[in-house]
């Protein structure tokens, strides 16, 4: 007999070598990945810094237009004795308190200063001399432009011409913006080229740096005259329009790769030490156990690998055969994995008993077996779950064809315990090697496809695609983070968008916002659906309602509107919980407006009807949101007795572009008025849309034309202001 080679040399040494090699490979990949990730992160922050600075310049000019493109502004600055208090509140100090501008000046037709503001205080006009060197070039350029005609010189998104650049102002890097003060309507005569000018200064090393650090995560943000030379900092040059560098924006770059690498190296070191100890122990145990397992394996194999009810392979044997098939898939052979789940099986069990359920499982198994080839595997994985492994697939068409045959076979009635039963089946499919060659990964992807089939109506099949995987991962992550946010109260907040009648604010709509610590702002479209599916919508909706009720106490002259989900109405005590929140916060019911979609009304559920009647009886107003996008049934409006309908933004958006949109909007307004309802239009973004809706008789409007969603504090400021920017809206009387 040949001499046996030592176990340590044949097994243990190669194992140790493999472990060491893997460690070296992992370490090398980790090092390269870390450097690459950090480089990409820094590059993106560089681009973001440039974008933020550009946006700051654009927003400075837009801020000025709020008050410089205004008849009242022309009248007041050209008055023989200008009212300095009026200039403070509209063209000077107001720009500091509302927009954060650091300096503001008004120049007359001879470019002489008549007003000056610095750091939120009115100062002597002669202070303009501090910035005249930087500003005169832009002032002269704008004068020349105004004299020659400026109709074609207005930048996209702006309403008036202007000059803007960066420069050094009194030792500060700053944005310098010059805008003419013009009549919005043309009713106030102005001599061309002799318009008064508004000069606004915003320091780049002031609150803008704080905003960049707070809102865009530029850690340690600071301005320097020279590029950063100390380790851990990067620099972004700030250039004038002519390309001259005036300084550098410096910050500590975000290095996710280095942070992850530090943690990974600690884990890797501990893992290698543990593996080294376990490997020796396991190898010795394996040597002793191998002979013992071989002796008992044959006896227990059949009992361990087959389902007692159907005689089909069970999950263990299924996994074994799937592993074998995946081995062939790694060599290029096409393999398909199908996961099947009977639809309405629980209903059969509940109505006819478990004996009928067992009979259904046996007959279903028989039908499946008849549709498969001899070398294919069908297994019962548990309950009403089955799995199929198909090897030697010629094309995706073969799999789709089999799925269709399975669906057809299951749609035929089943004869169980003397009753004819109809069920369906949902099928999820994953392909190897295209979708992976590891069992766990392939099972997970087939399960994702099965979940998609169930979610899209059941009694169908779906073949896995990559977008399904990303969708499931993202939704799972959002669910976990949303639970944490609700538990800690961190990241969630409510913004309020004004609703306007004429030029008067009559209400605000409470809009949930989520500032994620890692992903940034997550839109409601991304997490509301997850909240509805996972049962979190009840807690989330009640939290928003509570915040809205508390806010309504601050603004007693306007109402606060709150959106409700159709899922919330499934709770039997929904109306009582809403009224309890209103009562506990001390809110006035008549100041709270609940917005529902047409989906809430579908089916005319008695519980929904009772809840709405109870809420209206308590004084709360009901608005039908997104009207026109669903069934828009007159029966719903009459039976559910709503107080308001809101025209969906999709119709408002196409006003002036699609003839049917104008007709639909007019019809909805007439319908609402005929039924005694208030009509509100959402998504108003242009003055043309506003004029059309006003002419059509729309009672209220809402959209970016008037205001974006604001914080509670900004709403309070707006309600206290004398007309707001450009006088588009003003506080309620």
pLDDT band at 729 (very low <50, low <70, confident <90, very high): low
* Rounded Cα distance, 32 and 257, in Å: 10
* Rounded Cα distance, 194 and 139, in Å: 12
**β partners of residue 596:** 624
Average pLDDT over residues 614-633: 80
Across all residues in the chain, what is the average pLDDT? Answer: 85
For residue 352, the model assigns a pLDDT of 85
Secondary structure tally for the chain: helices H, strands E: 24, 25
> Nearest to residue 710, comparing CAs of 603, 560, 518, 595?
560
> How many CA atoms lie within 13 Å of 304's alpha carbon, on the beta-carbon side?
10
pLDDT band at 467 (very low <50, low <70, confident <90, very high): confident
Assess contact for 670 and 635: CB atoms under 8 A. no
Assess contact for 605 and 640: CB atoms under 8 A. no
Structure tokens at 221: 């943000």
For residue 469, the model assigns a pLDDT of 72
* Rounded Cα distance, 142 and 700, in Å: 39
Taking only the tens place, the pLDDT of each residue in 307-342 is 989 999 999 999 999 999 999 999 989 999 999 999
* Rounded Cα distance, 87 and 122, in Å: 9
For residue 535, the model assigns a pLDDT of 86
Average pLDDT over residues 523-549: 89
pLDDT band at 601 (very low <50, low <70, confident <90, very high): confident
Phi, then psi, of 185 in degrees rounded to 5: -95, -15
Phi, then psi, of 481 in degrees rounded to 5: -70, -35
Average pLDDT over residues 406-414: 93
Average pLDDT over residues 207-228: 81
Phi, then psi, of 103 in degrees rounded to 5: -145, 150
DSSP string, 331-343: TT--EEEEEEEEE
pLDDT band at 726 (very low <50, low <70, confident <90, very high): very low
pLDDT band at 631 (very low <50, low <70, confident <90, very high): low
Q: Which long-range contacts (CB under 8 A, 24 or more apart) does 704-710 make?
A: 706/498, 706/500, 707/497, 707/498, 708/497, 709/495, 709/496, 709/497, 709/509, 709/511, 709/513, 710/495, 710/496, 710/497, 710/498
Neighbours of 723 (CB within 10 A): 16
167 has pLDDT over 50: yes
For the CA atoms of the chain, what is the radius of gyration?
35
**β partners of residue 236:** 249
Selected residue with higher pLDDT from 468 and 69: 69
pLDDT band at 51 (very low <50, low <70, confident <90, very high): confident
Topology adopted by domain 315-464: Alpha-Beta Plaits (3.30.70)
519 has pLDDT over 90: no
Assess contact for 518 and 565: CB atoms under 8 A. no
SS3 call for 730: strand
Q: Which of 177-181, 241-245, 530-534, 559-563 has the lowest mean pLDDT?
A: 530-534
Q: What is the pTM of this model?
A: 0.46
* Rounded Cα distance, 205 and 173, in Å: 7
Q: Where are the beta strands (DSSP E) in 566-703?
A: 592-596, 621-627, 644-647, 678-681, 700-701
For residue 634, the model assigns a pLDDT of 65
Selected residue with higher pLDDT from 471 and 341: 341
166 has pLDDT over 70: yes
* Rounded Cα distance, 437 and 477, in Å: 25
Question: For 711, left (φ over 0), alpha (ψ -120 to 50), or beta?
Answer: beta
**The most confident of 184-193, 291-300, 314-323, 348-357, by mean pLDDT:** 314-323
User: How much of the chain, in percent, has pLDDT values that exceed 90?
Assistant: 42
* Rounded Cα distance, 343 and 422, in Å: 10
- Cβ neighbours of residue 538 closer than 8 Å, sequence gap 6 or more: 567, 568, 571
For residue 733, the model assigns a pLDDT of 40
Assess contact for 645 and 624: CB atoms under 8 A. yes
222 has pLDDT over 60: yes
User: How much of the chain, in percent, has pLDDT values that exceed 70?
Assistant: 90
* Rounded Cα distance, 301 and 290, in Å: 16
Average pLDDT over residues 456-468: 87
Selected residue with higher pLDDT from 302 and 80: 80
182 has pLDDT over 70: yes
pLDDT band at 260 (very low <50, low <70, confident <90, very high): confident
For residue 446, the model assigns a pLDDT of 92
For residue 635, the model assigns a pLDDT of 65
455 has pLDDT over 90: no
Taking only the tens place, the pLDDT of each residue in 666-691 is 888 998 898 899 999 999 999 999 99
For residue 717, the model assigns a pLDDT of 92
For residue 629, the model assigns a pLDDT of 62
Q: Which of 390-399, 431-440, 449-458 has the lowest mean pLDDT?
A: 390-399
**The most confident of 226-235, 437-446, 548-557, 719-728, by mean pLDDT:** 548-557
Selected residue with higher pLDDT from 551 and 263: 551
Question: For 618, left (φ over 0), alpha (ψ -120 to 50), or beta?
Answer: alpha
Average pLDDT over residues 97-111: 92
725 has pLDDT over 50: no
Average pLDDT over residues 284-297: 64
Average pLDDT over residues 94-102: 92
265 has pLDDT over 50: yes
For residue 206, the model assigns a pLDDT of 80
Assess contact for 554 and 546: CB atoms under 8 A. no
SS3 call for 456: coil
> Nearest to residue 339, comparing CAs of 423, 407, 430, 404?
430
- Cβ neighbours of residue 23 closer than 8 Å, sequence gap 6 or more: 268, 272
Assess contact for 525 and 511: CB atoms under 8 A. no
- Cβ neighbours of residue 555 closer than 8 Å, sequence gap 6 or more: 508, 715, 716, 719
| Domain covering 488-727 in this structure, CATH number | 3.20.20.450
* Rounded Cα distance, 352 and 367, in Å: 21
């Amino acid at each position: 007999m040949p001499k046996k080679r030592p176990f340590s040399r044949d097994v243990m040494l190669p194992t140790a070598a493999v472990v060491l090699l893997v460690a070296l490979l992992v370490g090398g990949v980790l090092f390269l990945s870390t450097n690459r990730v950090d480089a990409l992160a820094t590059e993106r922050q560089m681009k973001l810094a440039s974008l933020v600075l550009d946006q700051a310049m654009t927003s400075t000019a837009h801020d000025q237009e709020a008050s410089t493109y205004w008849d009242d502004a022309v009248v007041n600055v050209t008055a023989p004795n200008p009212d300095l208090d009026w200039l403070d509140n509209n063209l000077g100090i107001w720009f500091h308190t509302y927009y954060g501008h650091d300096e503001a000046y008004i120049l007359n037709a001879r470019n002489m200063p008549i007003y000056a503001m610095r750091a939120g205080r009115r100062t002597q006009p002669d202070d303009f001399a501090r910035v005249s060197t930087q500003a005169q070039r832009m002032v002269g350029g704008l004068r020349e432009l105004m004299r020659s005609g400026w109709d074609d010189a207005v930048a996209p998104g702006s309403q008036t011409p202007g000059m803007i650049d960066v420069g050094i102002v009194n030792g500060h890097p700053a944005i310098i913006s010059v805008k003419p003060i013009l009549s919005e309507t043309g009713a106030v005569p102005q001599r061309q080229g002799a318009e008064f000018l508004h000069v606004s200064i915003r320091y780049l090393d002031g609150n803008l740096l704080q905003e960049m650090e707070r809102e865009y995560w530029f850690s340690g943000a600071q301005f320097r005259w020279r590029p950063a030379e100390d380790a851990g900092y990067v620099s972004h040059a700030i250039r004038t329009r002519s390309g001259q560098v005036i300084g550098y924006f410096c910050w500590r770059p975000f290095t996710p790769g280095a942070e992850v690498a530090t943690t990974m190296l600690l884990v890797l070191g501990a893992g290698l030490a543990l593996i080294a100890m376990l490997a020796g122990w396991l190898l010795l145990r394996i040597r002793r156990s191998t002979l013992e397992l071989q002796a008992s394996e044959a006896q227990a194999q059949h009992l361990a690998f087959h389902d007692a009810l159907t005689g089909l392979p069970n999950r263990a044997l299924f996994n074994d055969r799937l592993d074998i098939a995946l081995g062939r898939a790694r060599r290029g052979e096409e393999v398909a994995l199908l996961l099947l789940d009977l639809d309405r099986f629980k209903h059969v069990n509940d109505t006819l008993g478990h004996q009928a359920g067992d009979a259904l499982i046996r007959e279903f198994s028989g039908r499946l077996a008849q549709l498969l080839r001899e070398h294919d595997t069908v297994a019962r994985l548990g309950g009403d779950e089955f799995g199929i492994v198909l090897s030697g697939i010629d094309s995706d068409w073969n799999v789709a064809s089999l799925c269709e045959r399975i669906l057809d076979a299951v749609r035929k009635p089943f004869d169980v315990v003397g009753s004819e039963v109809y069920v369906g089946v949902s099928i999820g499919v994953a392909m190897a090697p295209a979708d992976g060659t590891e069992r766990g990964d392939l099972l997970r992807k087939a399960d994702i496809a099965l979940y998609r089939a169930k979610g899209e109506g059941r009694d169908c099949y779906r073949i896995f695609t990559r977008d399904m995987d990303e969708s499931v991962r993202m939704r799972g992550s959002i669910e976990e983070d949303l639970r944490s946010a609700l538990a800690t109260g961190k990241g969630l907040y409510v913004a309020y968008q004004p609703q306007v009648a004429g030029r008067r604010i009559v209400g605000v709509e409470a809009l949930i916002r989520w500032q994620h610590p890692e992903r940034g702002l997550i839109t409601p479209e991304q997490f509301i659906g997850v909240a509805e599916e996972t049962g979190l919508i009840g807690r989330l909706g009640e939290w928003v309602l509570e915040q809205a009720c508390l806010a309504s106490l601050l603004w007693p002259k306007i109402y606060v509107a709150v959106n409700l989900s159709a899922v919330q109405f499934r709770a039997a005590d929904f109306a009582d919980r809403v009224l309890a929140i209103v009562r506990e916060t001390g809110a006035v019911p008549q100041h709270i407006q609940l917005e529902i979609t047409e989906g809430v009304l579908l089916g005319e559920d008695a519980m929904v009807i009772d809840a709405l009647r109870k809420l209206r009886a308590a004084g709360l107003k009901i608005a039908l949101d997104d009207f026109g996008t669903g069934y828009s049934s007159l029966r719903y409006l009459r039976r559910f007795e709503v107080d308001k309908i809101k025209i969906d933004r999709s119709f408002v958006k196409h006003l002036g572009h699609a003839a049917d949109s104008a007709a639909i909007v007019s019809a909805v307004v007439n319908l609402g008025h005929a039924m005694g309802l208030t009509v509100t239009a959402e998504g108003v973004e242009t003055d043309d849309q506003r004029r059309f809706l006003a002419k059509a008789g729309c009672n209220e409007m809402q959209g970016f034309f008037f205001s974006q969603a604001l914080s509670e504090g900004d709403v309070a400021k707006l309600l206290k202001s004398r007309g707001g920017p450009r006088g588009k809206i003003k506080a309620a009387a």
